[in-house]
């Protein structure tokens, strides 16, 4: 995305075909779309087009069952001195930090957002990011399916 000096900035609302915000579309999105109360919603995760090992990895990611350093410390496998992120950013290595907020690994998402032409904020939790990303293209099933695959591929 390049800066265009002679073009006016504008907001785009992806939930309407006209790209203009309406309370009706926001209400429909909030009331009729199911959100993931349980971090692992089978309908969103278990897809035939995604390899099983990737789905299992994401399932473990959502449940914070990956071997991140904070989990290894909690299980007394490594000591607190070894808690720094593998991305050399000196933060505690957690699932949310590593996959979303790390300046090395989490920065991949900003490139994906740029490629999609999106400007958004990064949620704190990986599960929230998954939901935001999958519904960021609007309510079309085809768009959601494509975004779903992009998210899985990126993770």
Q: Does 43 reside within a domain?
A: yes
Averaged pLDDT for residues 27-52? 66
CA torsion angle for 90, 95, 99, 101 (degrees, to 10)? Answer: -50
Q: Does 11 reside within a domain?
A: no
User: At 154, is the pLDDT very low, low, confident or very high (cuts 50, 70, 90)?
Assistant: very high
User: At 33, is the pLDDT very low, low, confident or very high (cuts 50, 70, 90)?
Assistant: low
**pLDDT by residue (tens digit) across 91-143?**
888 999 999 999 999 889 999 999 988 888 888 889 889 888 887 666 677 88
Domain span at residue 64 reads 23-154
Q: Does 2 reside within a domain?
A: no
Q: Which residues pair with 92 in a beta bridge?
A: 84
What is the pTM assigned to this prediction? 0.68
Q: Does 134 reside within a domain?
A: yes
Q: What is the CA radius of gyration of the chain?
A: 18
Q: Does 4 reside within a domain?
A: no
Q: Does 15 reside within a domain?
A: no
Q: How many domains does the chain have?
A: 1
Instruction: Say what the pLDDT of residue 115 is.
Output: 92
């Amino acid at each position: 995305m390049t800066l265009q000096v002679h073009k006016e900035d504008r907001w785009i609302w992806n939930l309407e075909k006209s790209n203009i915000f309406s309370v009706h579309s926001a209400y429909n999105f909030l009331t009729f779309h199911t959100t993931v109360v349980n971090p692992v919603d089978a309908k969103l995760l278990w897809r035939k087009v995604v390899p099983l090992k990737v789905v299992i990895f994401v399932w473990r990611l959502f449940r914070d069952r990956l071997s991140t350093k904070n989990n290894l410390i909690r299980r007394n496998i490594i000591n607190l001195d070894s808690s720094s992120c593998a991305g050399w950013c000196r933060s505690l290595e957690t699932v949310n930090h590593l996959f979303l907020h790390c300046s090395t690994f989490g920065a991949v998402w900003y490139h994906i957002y740029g490629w999609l032409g999106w400007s958004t904020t990064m949620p704190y939790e990986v599960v929230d990011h998954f939901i935001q990303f999958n519904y960021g293209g609007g309510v079309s099933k085809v768009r959601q399916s494509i975004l779903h695959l992009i998210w899985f591929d990126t993770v």
